[in-house]
Structure 1
C-alpha cells in the first residue's frame, strides 16, 4: 500500500470549518474538534438534536437548508457528511477546484485529509494521532485507546 497521507498538526483555533450534513457523522467529528475552538458552521435541511443544542449554546452555527456551491467560498476546511454520495461528490469536486481541503465521510479516497484517532495527554502535552489512512478507523481507535491506557498508567518520566 502506498502511503499518501502525512500527519500534520494544525492550529484550527478560529478557523472556519464548514460541515454539509447535520447528522451523527457530523456530530462525531464536531465533538472531537470543538475543544480546539474553531468556528463551525453546519448547513443541512435536517439538524440533529445534539447539533441543535450546540447551536443553542453558541458553540456552533447551524443553517437549516440545502447547501449551495456558494457556501464553500467562506471556509478554510470542508467536511461533507451527507448520506447522499452524489451530493458529496459534487461538493468535493467544487472544494478541490477552490483549493479548499475537504473531508468526504463516505469516500476516504476523495479526502484531502482525515481526522485521525487522537490521544492528548494534558499532563505531558503529548499529542498522538493514529491513522489507517481512512481504511480502518475502528483499528485506529483501538490503537489510540491502548496509547491512552499507557498514559493513564503514567509510565513516562
Structure 2
C-alpha cells in the first residue's frame, strides 16, 4: 500500500479562482492546465517564464510580480505551491490549510492535499494517469500510449454520443431500457457509426437503430 490512498475525481473549476505561487516551468504547466479547465488563474511570483508573461499580457491570467505574502490565497478554490523554495511552499501549504483550501505542493518534501495527474483530453473525453507521486515519467508514458489508442476522432464521437444520450433520456421513459440502449450506443463500433451519420437528427430512426444494436448484442 502506498503512503497515500488518493481518491480520483474530476472537478469543475469554471470561473473559480485558483492561485499558483511560483513562476517557473512547473507553475506554467499548472496555470495552463487550470486555464484548460476554465478556471480564473492568479499567479504570484517576482519572476516568471516567458509563457506566463505572455498569458498575463493576453489577459488569460492575473499576474502579481512579487513575493508571496500571507493572505494571497483569499477567495481561492485551489492553491498550488510551485516555487523552488521549500520554506515558501510550506508557508503556502500552511495558509491553505488554515483556510480549508486544498493545496498541491510541487516539491517532494512538503505534503500536499492533492496531486495533478497526467491528462489526455479529447473533447468531452478526459483520460488521466498517476503513479501517486512515485514516478511522473510513468504517468506521462501511459498517457502517450493512450493518445495513440484514443485519437482526435474521439472528440467527434463524444459530441454525437452527447446528442444521442439527450434523445434517449427524453424519448425513453423506462430506466432499464434507457440503460440498455445507451450501452448499445457506447461501443466503439457504434460511436464510429454515429459520427458518420445523421441519426441524431431523426429520433425515430436513431431509436430503431439502437434497438437493433441492443438486440444483436453488438452495441
Q: CA RMSD in A?
A: 1.8
Give the deviation of 1:41 after TM superposition. Answer: 0.4
Match in the other structure for 2:57 = 56
Which structure has greater helix proportion? 2
| TM-score when normalising by structure 2 | 0.66
Give the deviation of 1:152 after TM superposition. Answer: 2.1
**Contact residue 108 and residue 135 of structure 1 kept, 8 A:** no
Give the deviation of 1:117 after TM superposition. Answer: 0.8
Match in the other structure for 1:151 = 150
Match in the other structure for 1:110 = 111
Q: How does 1:126-145 map to 2 (within 5 A)?
A: 126-145=125-144
Match in the other structure for 2:162 = none
Which structure has greater strand proportion? 1
| TM-score when normalising by structure 1 | 0.91
Q: What's the secondary structure of 1:88's corresponding residue?
A: helix
Which protein is bigger by CA-based radius of gyration? 2
Q: What is the CA–CA distance in structure 2 between the aligned matches of 1:14 and 1:108, rounded to whole Å?
A: 31
In structure 1, list runs of 5 or more residues that go unmatched.
Answer: none
Q: How does 1:26-37 map to 2 (within 5 A)?
A: 26-37=27-38
Give the deviation of 1:74 after TM superposition. Answer: 2.1
CA gap of 1:150–1:109, structure 2 versus 1, over 3 A, is: farther
**Contact residue 23 and residue 48 of structure 2 kept, 8 A:** yes
**Contact residue 108 and residue 134 of structure 1 kept, 8 A:** no
Give the deviation of 1:108 after TM superposition. Answer: 7.2
Give the deviation of 1:153 after TM superposition. Answer: 8.8
In structure 2, list runs of 5 or more residues that go unmatched.
Answer: 154-186, 190-219
Give the deviation of 1:156 after TM superposition. Answer: 3.0
Q: What is the CA–CA distance in structure 1 between the aligned matches of 2:32 and 2:109, rounded to whole Å?
A: 20
What is the aligned residue count?
A: 155
Q: What's the secondary structure of 2:11's corresponding residue?
A: coil
